Amino acid sequence: MAKIVIIDDEAAILELMSKLCRASGHTVLSFQTGAEGLTAVRSEKPNLVIVDLRIGDINGLDLIRAIREEFPETAVIMVTGHGTVETAVEAMRLGAFDYLTKPFDLGDLIKTVDQSLGRKSGGSAADLPPVAAARTSTSSKLIGHSDAIQRIFEIARRVADTDSTVLLEGEFGVGKHMVARALHDAGRRSAAPFKELQCSAMPEAVLETELFGHGGNASSGIFGRAQGGTIHLAEVHQLPVRIQAQLNTFLDECQSRKGSWGTSSAPDFRLVTSTTASLEEATKQGKFREDLYYKISVVPIKIPPLRERREDIRPLVDHFLKDLAERMGGKGKTISENALDFLQKYPWPGNISELRNAVERACAFAELDRVEPSDLPSKVSQQIEVPSPEGTGATQQLPIGSTLDDFIKAQERLFIQETLKYNSGSREKTASMLGVSIATLYRKMDLNSERKTTA
């Protein structure tokens, strides 16, 4: 096993990365300052260094530069927070093997560590052990009982071992990342890299470098770093037109060429893209290249929002509770049926991502071992569906938690507004119909200031 030095000034992250690497059998030395870490690198000569970009005493890029100059055989992995992708690309130029963006998947850390060590010892991606795939199975597992999710399971099963491009369409937070990861983990490429790139997260010049490499070195781009594995391009509809043309040409070349691409072999990867917009509509509007659209959508998969598959909420909640317990290393919490009922009735505009955050927040607030409605976010727990009083079979949301006086005032105002619409805005007719004076109408609708202004 390898000797690894980890440098990160966040104690919790440092401890987590150290535990994971030790669990894989490696010897780990961890430090919270760059100076201590560099001293350890010089004395211990480790096989791998994992370094945070932002350390209090030393710039992470300077640390990478020093390590690569003094110890060219030592692999370096950089860890970076959101919004620092351009600097991460600079780290790759300095010789870092790869970078992970916080918050990263725990399986991604182990897989990247294994790949960096395998590459340095002369191995190839195909020779790497399957430990990473096993460790990421939980995070990438598709969860749900609904017919819609079962259909997605079946499509994923059928195409997992193929190289057909897959286009995932769905709202923010529906689980496009999980589907992309599941496709990777279930297929023959599971032991090779899985790389993701947010196409909307960086300037055009940086995006071009991240995709196709820098200074003619195509292997430094994402297609080179994911050789043998899977690439997930998220928010692909945000690609600038010029980059769309480059990607279209690149995919054409990958089909026709069998060599002379930076290495002795042709690019080998499986491409999965995802979008929150309709690419078909974007092509009709001239915002997305039609030829590129057909190349990346051989297998289109539409993921429905959570509000259209509420039967998946319970298994998702159970999964999040279990995952939280494993991450915290303590006894897991359960959830009461009453609290679960609130979760199942809420519309979840943020889909699975919002549900996950709500469950994590509820666990943090729960004083006992069971999550109750009072532990849930107020926007979830202070809404309840009841039958509409008209007896039409419809339902309405009532704001549980507000005072009776506030609720009555809100309903009264709504009723007056609808009556005003019925009377084409005539306040005199509305007051007469409601059996109140015009002064009372103005007071209840808070129109006194408007009345004075127009008088």
Same domain, 197 and 290: yes
Contact, 368 vs 330, CB < 8 A? no
pLDDT given at position 174: 92
Do 56 and 204 have their domain in common?
A: no
What's the alpha-carbon Rg for the chain, to the nearest Å?
28
- Kindly state whether residue 20 falls inside one of the protein's structural domains: yes
Q: Same domain for 194 and 205?
A: yes
pLDDT along the chain (455 residues), means of 10: 90 87 91 92 93 83 87 87 61 77 74 76 36 33 84 88 93 91 90 89 85 76 88 95 95 73 67 95 95 95 94 93 82 90 90 92 89 88 56 51 68 85 89 90 68 43
User: What domain range includes position 174?
Assistant: 128-304
Strand duo 384-387 + 395-398: pairing: antiparallel
30 and 160 co-located in one domain: no
Closest to 431 (Cα-Cα) out of 422, 449, 455, 450:
422
Please indicate, yes or no, whether residues 113 and 135 belong to a single structural domain of this protein: no
Structural tokens at position 49: 């260094």
Beta bridge partners of 157: none
390 found inside a domain: no
Both 284 and 414 in one domain: the answer is no
What pTM does this model have? 0.60
- Residues 252, 132, single domain; the answer is yes
Distance CA 221, CA 93 (A): 10
Are 205 and 174 in a shared domain?
yes
Q: Which of 416, 419, 403, 425 is nearest to 444 (CA)?
A: 416
Token pair recorded at residue 59: 């710039």
Residues 6+ apart with CB under 8 A from 436: 444
Cβ-count burial of 128 within 10 angstroms (0-12 exposed, 13-18 middle, 19+ buried)? buried
- From 357, 385, 413, the end of a domain falls on 385
Give yes or no: residues 359 and 412 share one domain. no
Residue 81 lies in a domain: yes
Has residue 411 been placed in a domain? yes
Residue that terminates a domain, selected from 123, 156, 187: 123
pLDDT of residue 452: 43
The verdict on residue 394 lying in a domain is no
Residue 157 dihedral angles phi and psi, to the nearest 5°: -60, -40
440 domain-assigned: yes
Q: What phi-psi label fits residue 286: left (phi over 0), alpha (psi between -120 and 50 degrees) or beta?
A: left
- Residue 143 sits in a domain of what CATH number? 3.40.50.300
Measured over all CA atoms, what is the biggest interatomic distance in the chain, rounded to whole angstroms? 90
Task: Give the tokens for residue 386.
Answer: 């009841």
* Last residue of one domain, picked from the residues 71, 91, 123: 123
| Same domain? 104 vs 48 | yes
Nearest to residue 272, comparing CAs of 389, 382, 391, 140?
A: 140
CATH assignment at residue 110: 3.40.50.2300
The count of structural domains within the chain is 4
- Dump strand ranges (E) for 318-383: 334-335, 370-371
